[in-house]
Structure 1
Amino acid sequence: MSEQKTKLQKYSAPALEKGLDILEFLSLSDTAPTLSQLAQGIGRSKNEIFRMMIVLEERGYIERQEGDLFKLTGKLALLGGDRTDNSKLAELAEPYMHRLAEEIELSNHLWVPNSKDDLIVINSVSSSQNYGVTVQVGYTSPVFSTSAGACFLSELASDEERLAYLRRIAGDENPDALQEFSDQAAVCADQNYISLGSVESNAIHEISTPIRHGSGETVIASLTIPHFASALIDNRREFVIEALKQTAAQLQASVATRMPLPRTPWHQFA
C-alpha cells in the first residue's frame, strides 16, 4: 500500500462518506426509493442513515415524496459553479432582486424548471423588514396550480397546447381544475404577471412574472414575490406589480446579451 493511500485512509470522514453514498445512490436511481431500499442499496442500516436523510432533506438536497419515497432535488446542480446556466442566471439576477427587495420591502425569489412537472428556487432575497415570507434556495414546487407555473405555461400560445401539457403532468386532477389553470396562464400571458394563492398556505399569496429570453417568447424563469394576505399589500398592490414587471424587463435585457437560449424548452423536459 502506498504512503499516499495510507494518509488518505487515516483521514477518513465516515459521516461525509455516508452522505455522499446517499446522494450518489439517488443520482443513479431510475425510481425514487424508500428509506429501506436506499439503506439496502448502500449497504447500511436504516438507523445509520436516518438522521443524515433528515439533514439532507432540511438542507434541500433531497425531497420526500408521497409514500415516503426519496429523490434528489436540483440543488446539487447549483453547486457546480458558474459553468451551469442556472448558476449564471442566479448570479445575473442577484443585483436586480436586491434592488427590488429594497424598493418594495418584500422578499422575492427566482424559479427555474427542475423537471417536467416541478420548479426549483435558484436565488432568494429577503426583505429588510423584520417579518415576511422568504423561500429557501433549493425549494421545489409543482408547475400545476402555482403562480410561477402559470408563468411558464404562459409560453404555450393555445389552450390546446396548455391542456395537453397539463394532462401529461397532472392527469389525475379534475379536468375543470386543469382548464382553470390554463385560463390563468392565458391571463398571465396577457398582463405579464399573475397573482395566485400559495399551495403551501391560504395565508400566503404570490405575485409572479415570467422571465423571457430577450424579446422572444421562451420563458426561462419566473420571478416571484410572496406575501401575507393583508391590507398592507392591497394598498400598494399596483406599485408592487409595476416594480416586479420593471425588474423582470431589466433582467431580461441582461439575459439576452449574456446567456444562450436554452437548448431544451422546459415543457419538453423528460
Structure 2
Amino acid sequence: MTEDNDAASRYRAPALEKGLDIIELLASSPSPLSLTAIASTLGRSMGEIYRIALALEARGYIRRDRDSDYFVLTLRLFELAHENPPTNRLLSVALPLMEELATLSQQSCHLAVLSGARVLIVAQVDAPRPMHYAVRLGAQFPLAETSSGAVMLAYQPEHHRQALIDACIASTPEMADTLPERIKTILVDGGERRPSLVVSGVTNLTRPVFDHRGGVAAALTVPFLDQTGLSVDADQAETAVAATALKISAALGWREERQSNHLAV
C-alpha cells in the first residue's frame, strides 16, 4: 500500500461517503429512485443505505414522494452554493445588469458557473416578450453541450483546460475532432455565437465574465430566439451581451491588463 493510499484509508469516513454517493447518484438520475434502486446501483445493502437516506431526508438534502416512496434531490445544495460569499457577490452584481440586458435585447438571459465537469445555471432573467426561450434556474448540463460551458472551458488555465477537454472527449469521443478547434475559435472571438446544440431555432450568444484575479468566474448567455416584430437583431443582442459581461466583470474588480498569459492557446 502506498503512502497516499494508507493516508486515504486512515481518514475515510464511511457514513459520509455513503451519503455523498446517494446525493451524487440522485443528482445524475433523470427520475426519482427507490431505496432498493439506490442500494442496488451503489452496490450497497439496504441496511447500509436506509439510515443514511433518512438522515439526508431529515436535513433537507433529499425528498421522498409520499405516494411512491421514491427519492429525489432537493435544491438544498443549490441554496448553500448561493449562500457562499463569492456567489452572493456575483449574483448581486450580475442580476441588475442582466435585467437591463433582457430589456435591451428583448431576450431572456442566464448566468452559468462551472460545477465540476458540468455547467450550473445560477441566475436567469426572462425576456419582456410574451414568447421566449429560457433555461431553468438550477439546471445542470454537460460541460461541452452548452456555449456557457465551452466558453468557461476555453478561459480556464491551460493545464485545467486540457484536463477538462480530455474528460469531455473521454465521455463523448465524437468531440475529439471539433472541441479543440472550438476552444481556439472562442479565444480568438472572445466568446461564442452558434446555434444551440440542443434546441433548434435558438442561437447562443455567450461571453465570459472575469473576476478580480482575471480568472473566468461565469458565462453570460442570451439564447436568441428570432421572432417577428423584434426591434433588435442578433448582432445588436450580441453586442449587448458583450457589453454586459464586461460591466459585470468590471464590477467584480476585473481589469483587462490583469488577464494572465495562461489563456494562450
Q: Secondary structure in 2 aligned to 1:122?
A: strand
CA spacing shift, 1:208–1:30, aligned 2, 3 Å:
same
Residue 126 of structure 1: aligned partner: 126
CA spacing shift, 1:111–1:42, aligned 2, 3 Å:
same
Residue 90 of structure 1: aligned partner: 91
Cα shift at 1:228:
2.8
Instruction: List alignment gaps of at least 5 residues for structure 1.
Output: 1-23, 62-71, 258-270
Out of 16, 35, 50, the residue aligned to residue 42 of structure 1 is: 50
TM-score normalised by length of structure 1? 0.66
- With 84-93 and 224-233 compared, the bigger mean Cα shift is at 224-233
Q: Is the 8 A contact 2:118 2:141 kept in 1?
A: yes
Q: Is the 8 A contact 2:156 2:216 kept in 1?
A: no
CA spacing shift, 1:219–1:179, aligned 2, 3 Å:
farther
Percent identity for Structure 1 against Structure 2:
17
Query: What's the Cα RMSD here?
Result: 3.5
Cα shift at 1:225:
0.7
Aligned residues: 214
Q: Secondary structure in 1 aligned to 2:134?
A: coil
Out of 208, 211, 222, the residue aligned to residue 209 of structure 2 is: 211
CA–CA separation in structure 2 for the residues paired with 1:156 and 1:251: 18
Q: Is the 8 A contact 1:144 1:170 kept in 2?
A: no
CA spacing shift, 1:92–1:167, aligned 2, 3 Å:
same
Residue 25 of structure 2: aligned partner: 32
Give the 5 Å matches for 1:1-270.
26-27=19-20, 29=22, 32=25, 35=34, 36-38=36-38, 40=46, 41-42=49-50, 48=66, 50=68, 53=71, 56=73, 61=75, 74-79=77-82, 81=83, 83-115=84-116, 117-156=117-156, 162-174=161-173, 177-214=175-212, 216=214, 218-228=215-225, 236-256=233-253
Matched residue type, 2:225: F
Q: Secondary structure in 2 aligned to 1:189?
A: helix
Q: Secondary structure in 1 aligned to 2:204?
A: strand
Matched residue type, 1:103: L
Matched residue type, 1:42: Y
TM-score normalised by length of structure 2? 0.67
Runs (4+) of structure 1 exceeding 3 A deviation are 24-31, 37-40, 42-54, 160-164, 229-235
Deviation digits for residues 113-143 of structure 1 (CA, Å, limit 9, x no counterpart):
112x101011111111101012221111111
Instruction: List alignment gaps of at least 5 residues for structure 2.
Output: 1-16, 27-32, 40-45, 55-63, 255-265
